[in-house]
Chains A and B, each alone.
Chain A
Amino acid sequence: DADVTQTPRNRITKTGKRIMLECSQTKGHDRMYWYRQDPGLGLRLIYYSFDVKDINKGEISDGYSVSRQAQAKFSLSLESAIPNQTALYFCAAEHSGTGELFFGEGSRLTVL
Chain B
Amino acid sequence: AQKVTQAQTEISVVEKEDVTLDCVYETRDTTYYLFWYKQPPSGELVFLIRRNSFDEQNEISGRYSWNFQKSTSSFNFTITASQVVDSAVYFCALSGANFGNEKLTFGTGTRLTIIP
Contacts and interface: CB of A to CB of B under 8 A. Distances in A.
A63 B109 CA distance: 25
A99 B45 contact: no
Interface size class of B (residues with CB under 8 A): 20 to 34
B103 A33 contact: yes
B104 interface: yes
A45 B44 contact: no
A20 to B, nearest CB: 21
Contacts of B95: 99
Label chain A's interface by main secondary structure: strand
A2 to B, nearest CB: 9
Contacts of B33: 99
A29 B108 CA distance: 26
Interface of B: 6, 9, 33, 35, 37, 43-45, 47, 50, 91, 95, 102-109
Interface of A: 33, 35, 40-45, 48, 56, 58, 88, 90, 92, 98-103, 105-106
